[in-house]
Structure formats: C-alpha cells, structure tokens
Amino acid sequence: MLRLSNRGRYAVRALFDLAFHQQGTRSAVQVRDVAERQRIPLRFLEQIFQDLKRAGLVESKRGPRGGFTLVRPPEEIRLGDVLRAVEGPVAMVEPKRRGASRASSDENVTRAARLREVADAVLADVGRSVERCFDEVTLRDLCMRGEEAGVRRPSATRPNAAAPPARWVI
C-alpha cells in the first residue's frame, strides 16, 4: 500500500492546522503552537516549514506577533502542492538509468527487459493518478471536513465572546 512519509503527513497536517486557525485572517500562527496541537516534533516541523516557505506556500513574519501565514487562500493550495514541496514528485518507479540496458541477442533477456518496461510504465501511470488525486484536494476541503466532523474553529470558542443568556434557544 502507498504510504506517505512522516515528512509528507506532517506537512499536510501543519498546513491544515494553519488554514483552520487562520480562518480568513492574515494573523500569523507560530510553529510552536502547530507542533503542540499536531504532536509533531518542533525541530522537524521547523525544517518542514522552511521547505514550505521555499515552495512559496507560506511566508514568515518576525517579532512577538510573528509566525507563519498562508501565501494563498486555502482553496488555492492543493495537497499535491504541499507534498511536492517536501517530498518532490510522486514516483512509483525509479527513473531509468542511462546506459543500463545492453543490447542482447538472447531472446529471454530481451523479453524480461520488455516485461520490466511494461510494469514500470503501468506503475508510472499509477503514480500520475495518485498525484492527480492529491491535486484534487485543497486545504479548504480539509477545513470543511474538520467542521463537518464537529471541530469548532477558534473564533467559535473564544473565551471573551459574549455567550447568549441561558434562556435563549438556539
């Protein structure tokens, strides 16, 4: 079964967390807070955020109210973008090595080489399909799934938000 590396999974979780907690504002989110909420080792997450910054997905702000913000709205950032930023392209087969195939008069060797080429071509097609699947899902989709699962955004749970009187029925 296809498995994402921890780096890829953590990058997706981190940007989902960022999108969910920014909720349309441009307020910066600190890596330390994301690491705590997502239970990701801080040093590892800092490296991941540097990759995401180099890829143009996040920007950083210095200072007491500093941290990271998304460069684009969540609906414009696809999981494929996130994964390519930290993993590179999805590859189901090793790239062909130049000079690795030798001309051979042995029919069995030629047949075996052709079978490998067919298998590699099919796996490359699968890799492109997997990459397209990741490109169909945005951070906004993840935020919506979070809300559908009953996870409340921070503004909905602000401690200083005025609560309706107990007699109100909502």
Question: Could you tell me the CATH number of the domain that includes residue 77?
Answer: 1.10.10.10
Instruction: Tell me whether residue 161 is in a domain.
Output: no
Comparison of pLDDT for 160 and 52, the residue scoring more: 52
Question: What does the pLDDT look like over 121-138, one tens digit per residue?
Answer: 898 888 889 899 999 999
What are the CA-CA distances from residue 89 to residues 37, 73, 80, 131, 157 (Å)?
28, 23, 9, 8, 39
Instruction: Tell me whether residue 168 is in a domain.
Output: no
Specify the number of domains making up the chain. 1
Distance of CA 117 to the CA centre of its chain: 31
Domain that residue 148 falls in:
6-91+102-155
Instruction: Tell me whether residue 39 is in a domain.
Output: yes
Contacts by residues 17-20 (CB-CB < 8 Å, ≥ 24 positions apart)? 18/58, 18/68, 18/69, 18/70, 19/70, 19/74, 19/77, 19/139, 19/140, 19/142, 19/143, 20/142, 20/143, 20/146, 20/151, 20/153
Question: What does the pLDDT look like over 67-120, one tens digit per residue?
Answer: 999 999 999 999 999 999 999 877 666 666 544 455 555 776 788 889 999 998
Which burial class, exposed, middle or buried, applies to 26 when counting CB atoms under 10 A from its CB (0-12, 13-18, 19+)? exposed
Instruction: Tell me whether residue 169 is in a domain.
Output: no
Instruction: Tell me whether residue 160 is in a domain.
Output: no
Instruction: Tell me whether residue 35 is in a domain.
Output: yes
Instruction: Tell me whether residue 82 is in a domain.
Output: yes
Instruction: Tell me whether residue 29 is in a domain.
Output: yes
pLDDT at 72: 94
Interatomic CA distance for residues 88 and 133, integer angstroms: 16
Percent with pLDDT over 90 in the chain: 54
pLDDT at 138: 97
